[in-house]
Amino acid sequence: MRSIKLTERNENIVIFPFMAQGHIIAFLGLALQIEQRGYNVIFVNTPINIKKLQQSLPPTSSIRLLEIPFNSSDDDDLPPGVENTDVLPPNLIFNLIKASVSLKPSFRQLISNLTTDCGGDPPLCIVADIFFGWSAEIAHEFGVFHSIFSCSGAFSLACYYSLWMNLPHLSSDSAAEFSFPNFPESGRFHTTQLAANMLVADGNDPPSVFHRKNLPAWSNSDGLLFNSVEELDMIGLAYFRRKLGRLVCPLGPILLPPGKRAGKSAGIAAEGCIEWLCTKPENSVVYISFGSNNTILASQMMQLAKALEEVNKNTNFIWVVRPPLGFDITAEFRAEEWLPEGFVERVVDDQKRGLIVAQWAPEGEILSHKSIGSFLTQCGWNSVLEGLSHGMPLMGWPMAVEQFFSTKFLAEEIGVCVEVARGFNVEVRHQDIVEKIELVMGQSEQGKELRRKAGEIKEMVEDAIRDQDGFKGSSVKAMDQFLNAALLMKEKTKNGLHTAK
């Protein structure tokens, strides 16, 4: 492909994520990277999310925030005024995904207005969420390059794509095990590695109907972007290159700068965390966080707390807590009700072994500290990349959607993770959690190998985004490839050489 000097063009790129914290974080990170390349970035979302984002932009950023109206109907079965998954229980998140299709006419009008405001010159590119496959049609109506951006890794998204398109667990010879059609290299899976709505899907249920319309629409896009790394995620990337026949560009790791939380308020200041961590030996602290949309059962919370008390007394922890499943996830955390009696007094106050943080913690600052020795995570991809970028061995407790696939990939293919538990509804024994923590944090050969491999992946990830002394990492090259493809399409469109797909 002929290269075009990127700095010669002053173009608009529209960024349009789904209304979920994990998606918005990744898209904001991408927006900041694109802005550094000299492009004008227009970040589109619903009013509540835009308001939260205003406090997250660096003071030097000129990213333009544009609101798009969102009005759910009674048929969507959503609480009034909801515009983000943050305040929704897990069973209602799909309702917001389905309702997001109603954004289509407003988004088309927004692109039309932007084009008119620029004297008939449309944006260079639209980068849209995986749930917005319909946006490709709008992009091509205006002659605009369109790309889907996945906040998930390519391996887990390939599993997700194949599962919804084929529902392989329904036709498996085994009652519990199955494999994905056209993706044999992913290995065998167990039905316990499926989220609840996947497990009961039969092709006619609402999630199946939505995904079987949305996923094929990705083929209308001009490219598929990933927050991942070529050398890390080759299996999944190869699947999409083979399946879609489109440009596939892994641009990661795309992480927000320290201190930027895309509208989230931390339950503790970064300085407080660092001050506490500085009192702990190197590699002695387990960081525990299940992401922005997940929590566990009260019974599981009790078992995890018991494990943290019983584990080797040289092991410390930072635990980000939210009310358990069945309670308002945004409410105040009641330790006296959901943790063992006297746990906070014994382990946190007297032994000084733990720090409990409500709702949200400054994850980047925590994981970069030398006292952190491992990360117990739900294996949401943003958290995975944050951990791997700091050389963290992972302990996986997947809970939703593609997290089960990511955990399997990280444990079996990459070798940087051990699975602690699986899902919301599994019975958890504190003895098993103790065993996994001591394996990862201790001096066994398996623990040493996990840490060695995590160190290797850290170097791999650093190399992918390195751009200095004549060296360009794979993710830097992929960003060049993506932007040049958009520029070339615009040039062809102006010259009447491009035909919309």
pLDDT digits (tens, 9 = 90+) for 339-388: 999 999 999 999 999 999 988 888 999 999 999 999 999 999 999 999 99
Give mean pLDDT, residues 167-173.
Answer: 81
Q: Look-up: residue for tokens 């980047």?
A: 364
**Predicted pLDDT at 360:** 83
Position 259 confidence tier, pLDDT thresholds 50, 70, 90? low
Give mean pLDDT, residues 200-223.
Answer: 97
The answer to whether 53 touches 260, Cβ cutoff 8 Å, is no
Burial letters 122-133, b for 16+ CB under 10 A, else e: bbbbbbbbbbbb
Q: Look-up: residue for tokens 């795309």?
A: 254
77: left (phi over 0), alpha (psi -120 to 50) or beta: left
pLDDT of 7 higher than 50: no
For residues 256 and 277, the model is more confident at 277
For residues 9 and 392, the model is more confident at 392
**Predicted pLDDT at 501:** 52
pLDDT of 308 higher than 80: yes
**Predicted pLDDT at 261:** 57
Give mean pLDDT, residues 173-193.
Answer: 89
Spatial separation of the C-alpha atoms in residues 394 and 465, rounded to whole Å: 22
State the number of CA atoms in the 13 A half-sphere of 456 facing the CB.
11
The answer to whether 411 touches 396, Cβ cutoff 8 Å, is yes
**Predicted pLDDT at 76:** 86
pLDDT of 4 higher than 50: no
Biggest alpha carbon–alpha carbon distance for the chain: 73
pLDDT per residue over 45-75, tens digit each?
Answer: 999 999 999 988 989 999 999 999 998 887 8
Beta-carbon contacts of 381 under 8 Å, excluding residues fewer than 6 positions away, are: 22, 26, 151, 152, 153, 156, 227, 228, 402, 406
Position 499 confidence tier, pLDDT thresholds 50, 70, 90? low
Q: Look-up: residue for tokens 């529209």?
A: 14
pLDDT of 263 higher than 60: no
Going from the C-alpha of 169 to that of each of 113, 125, 184, the distances in angstroms are: 46, 38, 14
Spatial separation of the C-alpha atoms in residues 44 and 131, rounded to whole Å: 15
- Helix, strand, coil percentages in the chain from 3-state DSSP, rounded to 5: 45, 15, 40
Spatial separation of the C-alpha atoms in residues 286 and 436, rounded to whole Å: 12
* Helix (H), strand (E), coil (C) string for 409-459: HHHHHHCCEEECCCCCCCCCCHHHHHHHHHHHHCCCHHHHHHHHHHHHHHH
Beta bridge partners of 226: 150, 250
Give the β-pairing of 372-377 and 285-289. parallel
Sign of CA dihedral 253, 263, 144, 118: negative
The answer to whether 225 touches 249, Cβ cutoff 8 Å, is yes
Position 264 confidence tier, pLDDT thresholds 50, 70, 90? low
Nearest residue to 218 via CA among 149, 167, 153 = 149
Beta-carbon contacts of 57 under 8 Å, excluding residues fewer than 6 positions away, are: 63, 65
Give the CA dihedral 155, 161, 163, 167, nearest 10 degrees. Answer: -160
**Predicted pLDDT at 328:** 84
Q: Where are the alpha helices (DSSP H) in 189-348?
A: 196-199, 206-214, 234-244, 270-277, 298-310, 335-338, 343
Position 8 confidence tier, pLDDT thresholds 50, 70, 90? very low
pLDDT of 25 higher than 90: yes
pLDDT of 6 higher than 60: no
pLDDT per residue over 127-142, tens digit each?
Answer: 999 999 999 999 999 9
DSSP string, 142-169: TT-EEEEEESS-HHHHHHHHHHHHH-GG
Q: What percent of the chain has pLDDT over 70?
A: 95
Spatial separation of the C-alpha atoms in residues 476 and 205, rounded to whole Å: 41
The answer to whether 377 touches 384, Cβ cutoff 8 Å, is yes
pTM as predicted: 0.93
**Predicted pLDDT at 150:** 98
Show the domains of the chain with their CATH numbers. 6-165+217-252+467-494 (3.40.50.2000), 270-461 (3.40.50.2000)
**Predicted pLDDT at 3:** 40
- Quote the tokens at residue 327: 């309670």
pLDDT of 143 higher than 80: yes
Give mean pLDDT, residues 195-219.
Answer: 95
Mean pLDDT over each residue of the chain, to the nearest integer: 92
Beta-carbon contacts of 219 under 8 Å, excluding residues fewer than 6 positions away, are: 244, 245, 246
**Predicted pLDDT at 43:** 98
DSSP string, 360-404: ---HHHHHTSTTEEEEEE---HHHHHHHHHTT--EEE---STTHH
- Quote the tokens at residue 478: 């992929």
Q: Where are the alpha helices (DSSP H) in 215-269?
A: 234-244
Task: Average the pLDDT over each of 148-162, 454-468, 486-500 and give the range with the smallest value.
Answer: 486-500
Task: Average the pLDDT over each of 186-200, 248-262, 318-332 and give the range with the smallest value.
Answer: 248-262
Give mean pLDDT, residues 204-213.
Answer: 97
Burial letters 471-485, b for 16+ CB under 10 A, else e: eebbbbebbbbbbbb
